[in-house]
């Protein structure tokens, strides 16, 4: 009998994972799997840290189960890339993956083929994004447009004058609406100029 781990995720504390849990328990019973662990994440889909998923992967590395059941692809990972990384690790550990909603099972040839297709689409998407960025950068250079953030236009003499009048770094940062690090850098550059001219 295969040992199964169930993973459920809901986006907010107002949602409850019971629906996903019931569906996955029923799926495990239908397939004759023994449930050895249930992992729940109550966290937004875009958050990087997922304690339940992290624990599943730790337990998987110790051979805690043979198969992972999830309610849907988007419940387990924050992006296609993250999803493929999770699947790749499970596959490397010899652990099967089953999605209830998509009806994908990596234990069979069709499920494995689906994962390859998803991976290929993801790789194509990344390549297209990189090419669009490169094309935009080339066009901006040809049009002699500035690429990236515009440099800060600060009244350096006024900052130096206010510093000489006794204003602190925090006061200067608030007055000129910049970070303390920016003020510190301006003062440091001025000190270097003074050293060279001395």
Catalytic residues: 11
φ, ψ of residue 8 to 5 degrees: the values are -125, 145
Q: Is 91 exposed, middle or buried (0-12, 13-18, 19+ CB in 10 A)?
A: middle
State the chain's maximal CA–CA distance in angstroms: 85
Give the Å distances, CA to CA, from 161 to 125, 136, 151, 154. Answer: 52, 42, 22, 13
Minimal CA–CA distance to 33: which of 43, 45, 42, 25? 25
Q: Residue 105 in contact with residue 95, Cβ under 8 Å?
A: no
Strand order from edge to edge, sheet including 104-105: 34-42, 3-10, 67-70, 96-99, 104-105
């Amino acid at each position: 009998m295969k040992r199964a781990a169930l993973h459920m995720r809901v986006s907010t504390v107002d949602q409850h994972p019971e629906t996903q849990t019931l569906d996955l328990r029923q799926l495990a019973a239908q397939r004759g799997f023994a449930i050895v662990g249930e992992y729940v994440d109550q966290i937004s889909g875009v958050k990087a840290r997922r304690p339940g998923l992290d624990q599943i992967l730790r337990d998987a590395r110790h051979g805690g189960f043979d198969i992972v059941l999830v309610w849907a692809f988007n419940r387990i990972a924050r992006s296609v890339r993250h999803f493929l990384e999770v699947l790749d690790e499970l596959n490397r550990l010899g652990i099967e993956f089953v999605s209830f909603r998509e009806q994908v099972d990596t234990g069979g040839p069709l499920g494995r083929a689906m994962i390859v297709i998803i991976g290929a689409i993801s790789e194509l998407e990344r390549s297209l994004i990189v090419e669009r960025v490169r094309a935009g950068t080339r066009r901006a250079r040809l049009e002699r447009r500035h690429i990236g953030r515009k440099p800060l236009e600060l009244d350096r003499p006024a900052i130096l004058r206010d510093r000489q009048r006794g204003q602190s770094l925090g006061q200067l940062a608030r007055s000129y609406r910049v970070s303390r690090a920016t003020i510190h850098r301006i003062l440091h550059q001025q000190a270097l100029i003074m050293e060279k001219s001395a």
